[in-house]
């Protein structure tokens, strides 16, 4: 009998791991009464048309790559997984499969609507950001939208081929989370490329727009609105904390005493060896990354000087991820 129960539980776990997931904001239950009635979490589905919340008394991680400490930050993360009733106490249990964390906009109030940053097909050079509020970069989103008109999406290429590019061509596709609704659009605006210095645009763009539709990697969640069915106005982005999926390979290249190894960077933030170059005089200034970001640097071409990047702090060290 015990063996049968174990097999049933194992089958249920396998189904959970392989099935489609749902996405939620959440808040911790601070009521003072005995568990499991209190002390759990209140969950609300992304893009829900109501304010209804679902109480879960506990959660179980079915993904060993997640950081359990992040679940304490109910102000800045979106969780994904499944809700199932518990056989023990009759309360719901949440099976946690994924965590997306807010990518902060430095020195910007995220609920400010006066954002004039333009991104036409990923070429953003507009610096007209006039926000100066430093105290609201972590505005609570739990169980409320940033703007009433905002929705949450995954983005990808639409796979539509146009005769004339950048001329009314819906090259992007939005997939509304927790629904089957999708819509093609022509362009988008976003606030990060003009606000975050030294942002790795190769990594950023690859996570924002999913190019390989069948890829198992789950990209960034964006919050925003589609205007006139052709332009998406992005308010903010939540990045997958399982990034990259596979760890970087260790570089074992050595150069002579008078030379230094130089590197480029892959879309997974991994250094790629280029060649050895003669040591030269470089600028000794070290740039500072804004709040919510950490600095990485590599010797780069053409002179072997350090090239700096500002990566979101929520991202793990690309050498230390454990893989799927």
Residue 142: its H or E element = none
What pLDDT is stored for residue 140 in this prediction? 38
pTM, two decimal places: 0.79
Q: In angstroms, rounded to a whole number, what is the distance separating the alpha carbons of residues 197 and 212?
A: 28
User: Quick check: helix, strand or coil at residue 321?
Assistant: coil
List, for residues 162-171, the tens digit of each pLDDT value.
Answer: 876 556 788 8
What pLDDT is stored for residue 18 in this prediction? 46
Residues 93, 58: contact at Cβ < 8 Å? yes
Tokens matching residue 299? 């010797």
Pairing of strands 22-28, 77-85: antiparallel
Per-residue pLDDT of the chain (324 residues; tens, 9 = 90+): 555 445 445 545 554 444 578 999 999 999 989 888 899 999 999 999 888 999 999 999 998 888 888 888 888 999 999 999 876 777 899 999 999 999 999 874 344 433 434 444 444 434 344 333 333 444 434 444 445 558 999 999 988 888 765 567 888 999 999 998 999 999 999 999 999 999 999 999 999 998 866 666 788 999 999 987 689 999 999 999 999 888 998 877 789 989 999 999 999 999 999 999 998 999 888 999 999 999 999 999 999 999 999 999 999 888 887 766
């Amino acid at each position: 009998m015990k063996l049968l129960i174990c097999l049933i539980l194992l089958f249920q776990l396998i189904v959970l791991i392989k099935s489609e997931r749902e996405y939620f904001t959440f808040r911790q239950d601070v009521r003072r009464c005995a568990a499991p009635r209190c002390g759990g979490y209140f969950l609300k589905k992304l893009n829900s048309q109501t304010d209804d919340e679902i109480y879960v008394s506990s959660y179980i991680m079915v993904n060993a790559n997640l950081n359990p400490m992040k679940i304490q930050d109910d102000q800045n993360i979106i969780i994904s997984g499944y809700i199932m009733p518990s056989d023990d106490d009759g309360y719901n249990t949440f099976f946690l499969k994924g965590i997306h964390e807010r990518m902060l906009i430095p020195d910007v109030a995220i609920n400010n609507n006066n954002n004039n940053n333009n991104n036409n097909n990923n070429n953003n050079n507009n610096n007209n950001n006039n926000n100066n509020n430093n105290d609201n970069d972590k505005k609570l989103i739990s169980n409320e939208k940033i703007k009433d008109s905002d929705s949450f999406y995954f983005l990808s290429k639409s796979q539509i081929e146009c005769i004339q590019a950048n001329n009314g061509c819906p090259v992007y596709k939005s997939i509304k989370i927790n629904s089957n609704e999708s819509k093609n659009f022509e362009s988008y605006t976003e606030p990060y490329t003009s606000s975050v210095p030294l942002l790795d645009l190769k990594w950023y763009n690859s996570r924002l727009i999913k190019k390989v539709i069948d890829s198992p990697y789950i990209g960034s969640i964006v919050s925003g609105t589609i205007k006139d069915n052709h332009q998406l106005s992005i308010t903010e982005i939540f990045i997958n904390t399982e990034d990259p999926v596979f760890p970087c390979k260790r570089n074992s290249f050595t150069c002579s005493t008078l030379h230094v190894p130089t590197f480029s960077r892959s879309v997974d933030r991994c250094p790629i060896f280029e060649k050895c170059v003669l040591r030269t005089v470089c600028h000794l200034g070290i740039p500072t990354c804004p709040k919510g970001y950490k600095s990485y640097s590599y010797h780069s071409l053409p002179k072997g000087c350090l090239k700096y990047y500002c990566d979101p702090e929520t991202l793990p060290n690309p050498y230390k991820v454990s893989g799927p």
